[in-house]
């Protein structure tokens, strides 16, 4: 069987580690670099990383950032940083791997969006906008790349108990829990 290589961006997070564990159980060679190994917001860094590791068969765009706060207090820098990591980073990585995927007529790109993309809470204008934009980008890419046998999908996890959500206030967590259908938070 030919080798199959997966790349998970944002590889140091709890969700990335869970995805990596599942892929490795399926005997898939998995790369899960953190921000210092792969800065997804830097096109040259992305290009260099991909050229170094070779063909990617599965890209999981998992790198993400939140800077939650009321809109009136959100700076342009807060907006830009969340957009850079969540949206631009996914675009740069998908664009780079899609070239060889189309040539090989094989591949899969998965965007990790969020439940906040369709049911955003207050204080997440930047995050909700970025994660919603991923859905539009995914739909367009799926139409464009599908003809070349490259699948493009998105996953919208609900509220997960991770290091990223540990930083949220108890008030925000309780509000999320009250809306959660399972009556508990998900785990990666």
Catalytic residues, by residue number, are 127
Query: What's the distance, CA 45 to chain centroid?
Result: 17
Alpha helices per DSSP H over the chain: 14-25, 43-53, 76-83, 89-104, 125-146, 163-166, 170-179
Residue 184: phi and psi, rounded to 5, are -155, 165
Query: What's the distance, CA 125 to chain centroid?
Result: 17
- Give the DSSP letter of residue 9: S
List the end-to-end C-alpha distance of the chain, in Å, as a whole number: 29
Separation CA 13–CA 162 (nearest Å) = 8
Helix, strand, coil abundance in the chain, percent, nearest 5: 50, 15, 35
């Amino acid at each position: 069987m030919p080798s199959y290589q997966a790349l998970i961006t944002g590889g140091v997070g709890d969700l990335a580690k869970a995805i990596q564990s599942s892929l490795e159980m399926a005997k898939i060679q998995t790369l899960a670099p953190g921000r210092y190994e792969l800065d997804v917001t830097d096109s040259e860094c992305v290009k260099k990383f991909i050229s170094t590791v070779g063909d990617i068969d599965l890209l999981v765009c998992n790198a993400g950032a939140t800077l939650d706060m009321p809109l009136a207090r959100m700076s342009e820098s807060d907006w830009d940083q969340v957009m850079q990591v969540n949206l631009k980073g996914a675009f740069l990585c998908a664009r780079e791997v899609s070239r060889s995927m189309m040539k090989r007529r094989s591949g899969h790109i998965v965007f990790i969006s969020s439940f906040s993309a369709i049911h955003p809470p207050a204080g997440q204008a930047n995050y909700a906008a970025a994660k919603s934009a991923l859905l539009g980008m995914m739909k367009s890419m799926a139409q464009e790349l599908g003809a070349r046998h490259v699948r493009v999908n998105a996953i919208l996890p609900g509220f997960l108990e991770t290091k990223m959500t540990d930083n949220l206030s108890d008030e925000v967590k309780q509000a999320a829990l009250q809306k959660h259908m399972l009556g508990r938070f998900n785990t990666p």
